Amino acid sequence: MTTIDPKKIVLEWIEENFEKSSIELVDYPMMLGGTLIRDKKGNEMIVYYEFMRNQVNHIILD
């Protein structure tokens, strides 16, 4: 049986989609694997793992 690590999946997705030197990562435990991304302009996004769909999703914060 394979164990899923939601945080690892989220961090891999972030590494594939962002230049790590241009963002700040903050743990966001309210969501499975949740990580808040903040760019240098102060824009924020929450990235999390959606278990039922087996995919990484994100929410852009205004």
pLDDT one-digit tens code per residue, 3-61: 999 999 999 999 999 999 999 999 999 999 999 999 999 999 999 999 999 999 999 99
Asked if residue 34 is part of any domain, the answer here is yes
Burial-class residue 4 by CB neighbours within 10 Å (0-12, 13-18, 19+): exposed
Asked if residue 1 is part of any domain, the answer here is no
Give the residue numbers spanning the domain of 15.
Answer: 6-61
Asked if residue 29 is part of any domain, the answer here is yes
Sign of CA dihedral 21, 43, 51, 31: positive
Asked if residue 54 is part of any domain, the answer here is yes
Asked if residue 31 is part of any domain, the answer here is yes
- What is the Cα–Cα distance from 28 to 35, expressed in whole angstroms? 5
pTM of the model: 0.91
